Structure 1
Amino acid sequence: MQSGTFSPVVELRRYTLHPGQRDVLITLFDREFVETQETVGIDVIGQCRDLDAPDHFVWLRGFPGLRSRTESLRAFYGGPAWQAHRSAANATMIDSDDVLLLRPAHPDSGFRLGPGRPAGGSDGIITATTWHLQPEAEAGFPEVFKTVLAPMLGDAGTPILASFVSEHGENGFPALPVREDARVFVWFSRFPDRAAYERHAVVLASMPGFAEALRPHLARPPEVALLSPTTRSRLRG
């Protein structure tokens, strides 16, 4: 990807929706909530359908910092676009509080996105892998990933789009909760389709040493979300 977007603070947001309402929300979101967030300094990174959870909508947005995040969220949620359409958006949702506040694991590990917003659909998928870390492993894990696990992923032919760790700074906009107790490492990859991802998973499972290097750092089993970007997502499959 071409260099162009780097957000030092990122939200990974997973919404649980009422049955049959995902496309309703996506249509509304892509029409009303993209440029109106970007106008107040929010980087709308990606909007996705979870391929294994038909009532889940997953999206990411970024900010230059925690202070600017607070200012931008106040501006957007107090602004005309959200005020006009919030009732319709909220009517699609059961829960919108599953939110991870993240920062790049290393200075160069954030998203790099091309200028502008792509036109048309995308056939590929994005994978979001979440590793929940033991408390004592959190501080040193980015270096473990960089020096041990990422080279193994490279040997398995896995592209790493971006990697993040929990941001433990204060949530300056408490009207939108985040999972403040989370200790996670989240990394993103891209595959042409589900079959390609499944082949990759088999290769990785058979790779000597990968699971053994990862397992001692984990508090619980990994979570992998297979995501299909919407037509207006900057993050593409």
Structure 2
Amino acid sequence: MNLARNAPRLASPVVELRQYTLKPGQRETLIALFDREFVETQEATGMTIIGQFRDLDRPDMFVWMRGFEDMEARKNALTAFYDGPVWAKHRDAANATMIDSDDVLLLKSAWPSAGFDLSRSKRPSVSETGKPSQDAGLAGIVEISIHHLRPGTEASFAERFRTEAVPQLTANGARLLGAFVSEHAENSFPRLPVRAGENVFIIVAGFYDDAAQAGSRSNLASSDLVRTEILRLSPTSRSLLR
């Protein structure tokens, strides 16, 4: 039996969660440019474009994630893309939409099976976007909960969440998409800053609609927890994660 062939496609042990503050009214401009020019061209360098999202509560925020096999692969892929012809051609147009692009968390899987399983995900081509689809209206809501923790407590908090809170989430109709903790390795591509010194545990969950999302919040009381941020996101038409 070929176990590798039957294993799920986990989208990379190292993940960047990127939140961009955009100029008023520029989000759709950036999404159109990103989905047309920056998906396959980044993936050609060895990374995975996991998901692109509109923030439902902040109209000028664009949130996206990309994944890498390890920190060295991250360095090589980012060097290839940002020194390459596609970024050189479109960077001025992309940067013109942005106020800030430095809100970046560098993450790793919270436990071995906690990465994103994209084995059944299929990204529409650029030519297919905007056309009616049998999946239209079924993208749902992706919620990212960012739990800020006291230093050194990510692993123990993640284990308690896995055993205590995950069953409650799934029983309430949520789909657990992934779970991550801070990656404390040195930034392997310093041209792009990350939020160094962060201690976070992140849960990514999927919901079919607002009602399901509102009724499925799970809180884990802990002295390790400092604060929690909640991002309610709507996937773009070319987001793998939804």
Q: Give TM-score, length-normalised by structure 1.
A: 0.90
Which residue of structure 2 aligns with residue 171 of structure 1? 187
Count residues in correspondence: 225
Counterpart CA distance in 1 for 2:68 and 2:98 is 24
Q: Is the partner of 1:180 in helix, strand or coil?
A: coil
Counterpart CA distance in 1 for 2:151 and 2:168 is 24
Which residue of structure 2 aligns with residue 97 of structure 1? 102
Q: Deviations over 1:54-82 (max 9, x none)?
A: 00000000000000000000000000100
Structure 1 residues 206-221: aligned runs within 5 Å: 211=219, 213-220=220-227
Q: Is the partner of 1:172 in helix, strand or coil?
A: coil
Counterpart CA distance in 1 for 2:169 and 2:122 is 30
Q: Deviations over 1:159-210 (max 9, x none)?
A: 2111000000111111100011110001111111112211223xx4xxxxxx
Kept in 2: contact 1:9–1:65 (CA 8 A) = yes
Shift of 1:216: 1.5
Which residue of structure 1 aligns with residue 3 of structure 2? none
Structure 1 residues 30-179: aligned runs within 5 Å: 30-113=35-118, 114=120, 116-118=122-124, 120=133, 121-123=136-138, 124-179=140-195
Kept in 2: contact 1:41–1:72 (CA 8 A) = yes
Shift of 1:117: 1.3
Q: Deviations over 1:207-230 (max 9, x none)?
A: xxxx4x42322112x111111000
Counterpart CA distance in 1 for 2:54 and 2:121 is 23
Change (3 A) 1:115 1:160: closer
Q: Deviations over 1:18-43 (max 9, x none)?
A: 00000000000000000000100010
Long gaps (5+) in structure 1: 205-210
Change (3 A) 1:85 1:36: same
Letter in 2 for 1:40: T
Which residue of structure 1 aligns with residue 235 of structure 2? 229
Q: 2:33 aligns with which of 4, 28, 31?
A: 28
Q: Give TM-score, length-normalised by structure 2.
A: 0.88
Letter in 2 for 1:35: E
Kept in 2: contact 1:15–1:57 (CA 8 A) = yes
Q: Deviations over 1:145-164 (max 9, x none)?
A: 22222233234333211100
Kept in 2: contact 1:122–1:231 (CA 8 A) = no
1:180 aligns with 2:196: yes
Shift of 1:84: 0.1
Determine what percentage of the aligned residue pairs are the same residue: 53
Change (3 A) 1:191 1:139: closer
Q: Is the partner of 2:74 in helix, strand or coil?
A: helix
Q: Is the partner of 1:215 in helix, strand or coil?
A: coil
- Aligned alpha-carbon RMSD (Å): 1.6
1:189 aligns with 2:205: yes
Letter in 2 for 1:100: L
Counterpart CA distance in 2 for 1:115 and 1:131 is 27
Letter in 2 for 1:218: L
